[in-house]
Copies of this chain bind each other. A is one copy, B any other.
Amino acid sequence: MDFSIGELARRTEVKVPTIRYYEQIGLLPPPPRTEGQQRRYGKNATARLAFIKHARELGFDIEAIRALLSLQDNPDQSCSVADRIAKARLAEVEERIASLNALRTELQRMVKECASGRVAECRVIDTLADSSHGHGRLVET
Chain A contact residues, CB within 8 Å of chain B: 47, 50-51, 54-59, 68, 71-72, 74-80, 82-83, 85-87, 89-90, 93-94, 96-97, 100-101, 103-104, 106-108, 110-111, 114, 116-122, 124-125, 127-131, 133, 135, 137-140
Contact = CB atoms under 8 A, between A and B. Distances in A.
Contact of A54 (B47, B74, B97, B128): B128
A124 B54 contact: no
Contacts of A87: 111
Secondary structure of the A contact surface, majority rule? helix
Contact of A71 (B83, B100, B122): B122
Given A78-B119, A83-B114, A119-B82, A58 B128 contact: yes
